[in-house]
Structure formats: structure tokens, C-alpha cells
Structure 1
Amino acid sequence: MNMSKSNPFGETSKFFRLISHPARLKIIQEIGRGNACVCHLESQLGLRQANLSQHLMALRDAGILETERDGRFIYYRLADAKILDIIQAAMKFTGSNEVIGSNGKQSHKACSCPKCTSK
């Protein structure tokens, strides 16, 4: 994410507004566990594809997510994993016990993407 030096409080405020939606936090958390395609995120998060795509586009446009195409699948990854540290610190501050990022305890629900079917 490209933060301007001219108004650091304004840019930081924009960043927090961007990630403040619970669905976006869940998306960042799931992608923090490893690159993910839309069908994987849809099955893991229970979000409709249209809604999910809108959130992914906003996160990608802000430079939080990057994409990579593999055949017909587009995989999303974090542009900078430090975002997980920021979210984790905020979750601890608010008293959440949820641990985000790579924890090795993924349970894939009915996802037919290559990432899930190869396991």
C-alpha cells in the first residue's frame, strides 16, 4: 500500500476504513494462510461470489492484494504479510482470541479448486 507522506493520518485512516469491513478482515485472514482463488474463498468464508469479488477488487486496487493467474484460476496473495501483524495487534487489543495467518488447521469445505483438490 502506497502511503503518502503529505498526510500520514489521513492515509492511515483510509487504510483502516478499507480493511474495517468484517468480510475484508476474513478475506485477508484466509489469504494470509496461503494464496487463494475466488472459489476457495467463497467456500471457506460462505460469501457470495459477487460480494466477494467486490471486496477483492477494493483490496487489490488499494495494493493490499496481488494476483497471479494459473490457467483459468486467479490466485490472490498478500502484497505484504505485515498486514497480518497489524490486524492481529488490533484483535488482541479488542480482546479477540482469533489467531490469523498460517496455522495449518485449514478445513476445506466443498471447494474444487486445484489448491484444495490436490490435498
Structure 2
Amino acid sequence: MTRAARTQVPLYQAKAEFFRMLGHPVRIRVLELLQDGPMPVRDLRCAVEVEPSNLSQQLAVLRRSGIVTATRDGSTVVYALAGGDVAELMRAAR
């Protein structure tokens, strides 16, 4: 067995980690907002209405998991969904 095969995460475990990552209301709200397109952090902050440090922590979790991307436009950071699968999942959850 190759090292890559030994370190590969089973699909059921990857799914569990994905749903655990979604298990926070701020993260869910951010993903709902980003379904309509990319948003700057300042707009997310106004819409989500949490402390900036809390929003920053939750955005970092979403970034690390690869669900959202962040791009800098001057001094503004803009977040977007990394792919359409998440938007589809959020629509199905309604």
C-alpha cells in the first residue's frame, strides 16, 4: 500500500468533517449571503451582525476548508463561494 493510499481520508469521514464545519450559524449565514455573489467583508459584517473578530474567525474556517475564496481589491477583501456545489447544497437545505 502506498503512503498516499494510507493517508487518504475515507469519503464518509470527509463528509462528516464537511458537515461539522457547517455546524455554526455564522458560517451558514455567510454561505447564504455569498450565494448571490462575491461580497466585501464590510458588507458581510453589516449583514451578519457579529463582532468583527468572530466574523474573521468564521471566515478563516471557511477559507481553510476551501469553501470560500478571498481576494484583495486594494484595501478591501472580497469573499466568494469557491464552487457551485455549496450553493446547491444550501438551496437543497431550504
Deviates more, 1:53-62 or 1:5-14: 5-14
* Counterpart in the other structure of 2:80: 77
Task: Show structure 1 runs of 4+ deviating over 6 A.
Answer: none
Structure 1: gaps (5+ residues): 92-119
Amino acid paired to 1:74? V
* Counterpart in the other structure of 2:39: 36
TM-score relative to the length of structure 1: 0.69
Between Structure 1 and Structure 2, how many residues are aligned?
88
* Residues 32 and 7 of structure 1: CA distance in aligned 2, closer, same or farther (over 3 Å): same
Shift in Å, 1:90: 2.3
Deviation per CA, 1:27-82, whole angstroms, max 9, x where unpaired? 01111112112111010111111000000000000000111111000101110022
Shift in Å, 1:86: 1.1
Shift in Å, 1:87: 2.0
Query: What is the CA–CA distance in structure 1 between the aligned matches of 2:50 and 2:38, rounded to whole Å?
Result: 17
Establish whether residue 19 from structure 1 lines up as the match of residue 22 from structure 2. Answer: yes
| Percent of matched pairs sharing the same residue | 30
SS at match of 1:84: helix
Deviates more, 1:4-13 or 1:53-62: 4-13
SS at match of 2:71: strand
Report the aligned-residue RMSD.
Answer: 1.5
Amino acid paired to 1:68? T
TM-score relative to the length of structure 2: 0.86
* Counterpart in the other structure of 2:3: none
The answer (yes or no) to whether the contact 1:65–1:78 under 8 Å persists in 2 is yes
Structure 2: gaps (5+ residues): 1-6
